[in-house]
Structure 1
Amino acid sequence: MKILHLCFSNSGGGASIGASRLHHAMLNYGLDSRLLVVNKNGSDPTIDTLPESKIRNFALKYFNRRLRHTYTTRNSVNRSMNLLPNGAEKYINSLEADIVQMHWIGDDTISIRGITRINKPVVWKLPDMWAISGAEHYSLPEDPKRYAEGYLTSNRPPHERGLDLNRLIWLYKKWSWKNSDFTIVTPSKWLKQCAEESILLKNRKIVNIPNPVDTKKYHPFPQDKVRSLFGLPSQKKLIMFGSMGATLDRRKGFGYLKDSLSYLKARYSPEQVELVVLGSENNNTTYLESYRVHYLGTIQDEELLIKAYNTADIFVLPSEMDNLPNVIKEATCCGIPCVGFNIGGMPDMIDHQQNGYLANPYSSYELAEGIAWVLDNNTQALKNKVRKKAEKLHDPDKIVDKYINLYKTLL
């Protein structure tokens, strides 16, 4: 069975990492797998790049830039148009493959219409909400559920102004995909429910398969040894927060963590607890609510990243909306209890007050309660529960088995 994966990149963002991990899990399983990307990092011979035209790329960027200037929105998440043809489907059709496995295809990896012209069975693993939405990859929590209601003139978010670009792109997807046949995989149960409710995808086959993590690589380390490696205090409780663009991306919830610290003081003082931030450089804020903050920046070396996770007593990610965030998967594989809001894919990974804490959205007080609960109960038994759940959920071979069974139904 020959599998051709399609993704914008093989590294950088969570979706790209997820695509690369599934590709390599399939290779390790013994499948004939290749990954096709626009932006390749590294020299992996099993990863190929889509042919590019500088003139076409310039035209696409110019067109998209002009479109983005036609409207304003408070939603700062990525937006992808994918309106103009770029020939990706022609190249894909020229390759030998039994299945085309799509991942994050934003930023004009392939056009909306191009997906329907692939002449092989297509399985699309959704890393976010773009496939059910307009141009936006996530909506805001307070926005209407346009993906389920339809992108109407009457339910446009009040913070948007100008051309309703999301509606136009959603309508174009609806028209383009009406007679197409592709299968949907969602890493989280939440996104499966969203897809089943959505006008664009509700009549398709939709299955839930989590993303794999190499649990032999991501595993617990002795805390004292890894803390000394990063120059972190050995006697303090360390709360870790991290993501790509950690402190700048509203969706990842750093603001809620900051607000929760004022409530946490009643239980744990700044003399007992310090913070560690992954994915963000020092922004000259060395204290938050009197709690010391250590910035580890963006760690590219995977072995070093695994050791960084192991410095923490607890990992906190109060995302407003998220699918199945890599940082929670990776932290739990290292046996680190996690706290987040009860949203998105968080309940798939965190069993409330069993191996972590799910706070009521979007309460900073509840978040502080969750942090305190983990710090109060952070025994080896709790860490073992965290690790056991992660091993069961993200086992690469079991996940590849599920994909193989799905692929067989399409061949």
Structure 2
Amino acid sequence: METKKKISRNLKFLFKTKNKNTHTISFFDSNIFDQIDHFNPDIVNIHWIGNEFISLKQISKIKTPIIWTMHDMWLYTGAEHYTSDERFIYGYYKNNRDKLEKGFDINRWVWNRKKKYLNKNIKIISTSNWQHQNAKKSLLLKDRDVFKIPLPIDTSVWKPINKNNAKNLLGWKNDKIYFLFGFSDYARRNIKGLDIALNLFDKFNEANNDNCILNIFGEIDKKYISKKNINILGNINDQTKLRTIYSGSNLLLNPSRIESFGQIALEALACGLPILINQNTGTNDLILSDEMGYSLENEMNFNFNSLLKWFNQNCINNNQDFIHNKIKENFSYSKIANEYKELVNKIF
């Protein structure tokens, strides 16, 4: 298994691309197929299969009905998990490859394998409107039934701590305004909108007389440690601590340029923290009321005064319980489980 992972993670040596996102080929067989065959389940629900979890060829041999829940764009693209070009819409051909890419066209190769091996009877679930629209535009899935069910969150774990209490637990100052930005892979900083977040923070800080703090968690280049009023929290594996950070913050800056759903945003909202996002992403589905978040229509040209007015109305003394209850009503485990049950009864 480790050898397969190493090969999969080093595909960059076979070709050159400006797309720094994960690439998966799903070429190597695994014993997962034998386990599925042994248990003989009524339904197989596939989620994310990176790191050569199972091969496309093996998936085509599964006799049990399959539901495939998409967590990114991989099911309808080539090898890449996210892309900003349009080959997934028109097909991966020799004449429409990015001219900056060199070497073996691994995306075209994987896309052709998907055409060959993906069973027409696989039922597909998108987790957001953005993802659903992309899937229906894609050449691979446009003629398939694609259903929409969002991802769930455990609202008994992800819930608010009183903001002042959370700040005291973290040693934060009550008279400061705290912004939060988080991601798991620094190489994807452009897609995750790190530059947008830093620009927005500078504007908020200037408007509030340098009284704002930006906390960044996850993998981040240390050169940003020296920027004024920015703290690097590093990777946070303690769920209770992360819940406390969400609860003590005033706004999550989550302006991803490409996002199929937005798990960090969902966690933040469950803890009563409003979010700021780019409008044309899957995260837009999470904003169910004005109190919950703000969508940027254009990252380069937006009305900051309008944004500042919204922020002052909703983020200084926001209603944590109201936001949490909205998430509980729409994204709790029980709610999403019932949606899956209804879908299974409908299609099988």
Relative distance call for 1:97 and 1:302 in structure 2 (3 A) is: same
Q: Could you tell me which residue of structure 2 aligns to residue 327 of structure 1?
A: 264
From 203, 209, 232, give the equivalent of 1:269.
209
Amino acid at match of 1:163: F
Shift of 1:368: 5.2
Matching of residue 83 in structure 1 with residue 27 in structure 2: yes
Q: Could you tell me which residue of structure 1 aligns to residue 36 of structure 2?
A: 92
The TM-score, its normalising length taken from structure 2, stands at: 0.91
Q: Could you tell me which residue of structure 1 aligns to residue 346 of structure 2?
A: 409
2: distance between equivalents of 1:247 and 1:231?
A: 31
Q: Could you tell me which residue of structure 2 aligns to residue 147 of structure 1?
A: 88
Matching of residue 221 in structure 1 with residue 161 in structure 2: yes
Matching of residue 117 in structure 1 with residue 65 in structure 2: no
Shift of 1:383: 4.5
2: distance between equivalents of 1:84 and 1:306?
A: 38
Q: Could you tell me which residue of structure 2 aligns to residue 342 of structure 1?
A: 279
Shift of 1:249: 3.0
Shift of 1:287: 4.7
Amino-acid identity (%) = 26
Q: Deviations over 1:267-294 (max 9, x none)?
A: 2221x21111122468253453x3x112
Amino acid at match of 1:168: W
Matching of residue 211 in structure 1 with residue 151 in structure 2: yes
2: distance between equivalents of 1:250 and 1:370?
A: 25
Q: Deviations over 1:358-391 (max 9, x none)?
A: 012432x538557524431126565455334322
Matching of residue 176 in structure 1 with residue 112 in structure 2: no
Is the Cα contact below 8 Å between 1:246 and 1:278 reproduced in 2?
Answer: no
SS of the residue 2:222 aligns to: coil
Matching of residue 156 in structure 1 with residue 97 in structure 2: yes
From 304, 311, 314, give the equivalent of 1:375.
311
Amino acid at match of 2:313: N
Gaps of 5+ in 2: none
SS of the residue 2:200 aligns to: helix
Shift of 1:347: 1.6
Is the Cα contact below 8 Å between 1:357 and 1:370 reproduced in 2?
Answer: no
CA RMSD of aligned residues (A): 2.5
Relative distance call for 1:237 and 1:380 in structure 2 (3 A) is: closer
Relative distance call for 1:305 and 1:371 in structure 2 (3 A) is: farther
Is the Cα contact below 8 Å between 2:160 and 2:321 reproduced in 1?
Answer: no
Q: Deviations over 1:112-151 (max 9, x none)?
A: 11111112111110000000000000003xx2x2111111
1: distance between equivalents of 2:258 and 2:155?
A: 25
Runs of 4 or more consecutive aligned structure 1 residues displaced over 6 Å after TM superposition? none
From 244, 255, 259, give the equivalent of 1:307.
244
1: distance between equivalents of 2:99 and 2:322?
A: 44
Amino acid at match of 1:115: I
Q: Deviations over 1:283-314 (max 9, x none)?
A: 253453x3x11222222121221111011011
2: distance between equivalents of 1:346 and 1:335?
A: 16
SS of the residue 1:377 aligns to: helix
Q: Could you tell me which residue of structure 2 aligns to residue 104 of structure 1?
A: 48
From 394, 397, 401, give the equivalent of 2:331.
394
2: distance between equivalents of 1:350 and 1:406?
A: 24
Is the Cα contact below 8 Å between 1:264 and 1:369 reproduced in 2?
Answer: no
Shift of 1:63: 5.2
Is the Cα contact below 8 Å between 1:253 and 1:317 reproduced in 2?
Answer: yes
1: distance between equivalents of 2:291 and 2:34?
A: 50
SS of the residue 1:250 aligns to: coil
Relative distance call for 1:183 and 1:118 in structure 2 (3 A) is: same
Shift of 1:203: 2.4
Shift of 1:321: 0.2
1: distance between equivalents of 2:6 and 2:158?
A: 42
Shift of 1:400: 0.5
Gaps of 5+ in 1: 1-51
Q: Could you tell me which residue of structure 2 aligns to residue 33 of structure 1?
A: none
